[in-house]
Amino acid sequence: MADLEFFGHIVDNEEVESIDGTRFDVWNPWKREVWAQAAEGGEKDADRAITSARKAFDEGPWPRMGRVERAKMIHKLADLMEARADEIATLDSTNMAKPFEQAKHDVARSVWNFRFFADHQRDSVGEVYPMDSGHHSYSEFGPAGVVAAISPWNFPLMMASWKIAPAIAWGNTCIIKPSEDTPASVTYLGGLAAEAGFPPGVLNVLNGYGHPAGSTITGDDRVDRVTFTGSSTTGKAVMASAATHLAPVSLELGGKGANIVFADADMDNAVYWAVEAIFRNAGQICLAGSRLFVQDAIYDEFMKRFVDAAEALTIGDPFDPATKFSSLASKRHFDKVVSYVEGARDLGGTFHTGGIAEDGSWVVKPTIIDGLALDAAPYCEEIFGPVCVVNRFETEEEAVHLANDTRYGLNAMLFTENLSRAHRVASKLRAGTVWVNCFFIRDLRTPFGGVGDSGVGREGGNFSREFFTEPKAVVMQI
Ligand code: NAD
pLDDT of amino acid 3: 83
Nearest to 57 by CA among 174, 197, 149: 174
Residue 315 DSSP label: B
Residue range 288-298: mean pLDDT, rounded: 98
- Asked whether 46 and 216 are in contact (CB, 8 A), the reply is yes
177 lines ligand 1 (CB under 6 A): yes
The answer, yes or no, to whether residue 1 has pLDDT greater than 50, is: no
349 lines ligand 1 (CB under 6 A): no
344 lines ligand 1 (CB under 6 A): no
Distance 397 CA to ligand 1 centre (A): 34
| Ligand 1 atom nearest residue 449's Cα | 41
pLDDT of amino acid 242: 98
The answer, yes or no, to whether residue 366 has pLDDT greater than 90, is: yes
Distance 406 CA to ligand 1 centre (A): 20
φ/ψ of 282, rounded to 5, equals: 55, 35
What are 364's strand-pairing partners? Answer: 356
- In the chain, the domains with their CATH numbers are 5-253+454-474 (3.40.605.10), 258-436 (3.40.309.10)
Atom 43, ligand 1: residue with shortest CA distance: 286
The C-alpha atoms of residue 476 and residue 478 are separated, in whole angstroms, by 6
pLDDT of amino acid 126: 86
Question: Catalytic amino acids?
Answer: 252, 286
Q: Which of 231, 256, 433 to mutate to test the pocket of ligand 1 (most atoms within 8 A of CB)?
A: 231
51 lines ligand 1 (CB under 6 A): no
Distance 212 CA to ligand 1 centre (A): 15
**Residue 420 parent element (H or E):** helix 419-428
410 lines ligand 1 (CB under 6 A): yes
This model of the complex carries an ipTM of: 0.97
pLDDT tens digits, one per residue of 377-397: 999 999 999 999 999 999 999
Nearest to 7 by CA among 150, 185, 274: 185
Q: Which of 113, 181, 232, 234 to mutate to test the pocket of ligand 1 (most atoms within 8 A of CB)?
A: 234
pLDDT of amino acid 437: 98
The C-alpha atoms of residue 250 and residue 227 are separated, in whole angstroms, by 5
- Kindly give, in sequence order, each residue whose CB lies less than 8 Å from that of residue 289, ignoring residues fewer than 6 positions away: 257, 258, 259, 273, 274, 277, 278, 388, 413, 439
Share of the chain above pLDDT 70, in %: 100
Calculate the CA 57 to chain-centre distance.
Answer: 26
Atom 30, ligand 1: residue with shortest CA distance: 230
Residue range 296-320: mean pLDDT, rounded: 98
pLDDT of amino acid 13: 98
The answer, yes or no, to whether residue 22 has pLDDT greater than 50, is: yes
The C-alpha atoms of residue 215 and residue 149 are separated, in whole angstroms, by 11
Share of the chain above pLDDT 90, in %: 98
24 lines ligand 1 (CB under 6 A): no
pLDDT tens digits, one per residue of 443-462: 999 999 999 999 999 999 99
Q: Which of 109, 179, 433 to mutate to test the pocket of ligand 1 (most atoms within 8 A of CB)?
A: 179
404 lines ligand 1 (CB under 6 A): no
| Ligand 1 atom nearest residue 454's Cα | 41
The answer, yes or no, to whether residue 2 has pLDDT greater than 70, is: no
If you average pLDDT over every residue of the chain, what do you get?
97
Distance 154 CA to ligand 1 centre (A): 9
173 lines ligand 1 (CB under 6 A): no
Distance 443 CA to ligand 1 centre (A): 23
- Asked whether 175 and 147 are in contact (CB, 8 A), the reply is yes
pLDDT tens digits, one per residue of 133-188: 999 999 999 999 999 999 999 999 999 999 999 999 999 999 999 999 999 999 99
The answer, yes or no, to whether residue 305 has pLDDT greater than 80, is: yes
Distance 41 CA to ligand 1 centre (A): 17
Distance 392 CA to ligand 1 centre (A): 32
- Report the relative pairing of strands 225-229 and 249-252 from DSSP bridges: parallel
445 lines ligand 1 (CB under 6 A): no
29 lines ligand 1 (CB under 6 A): no
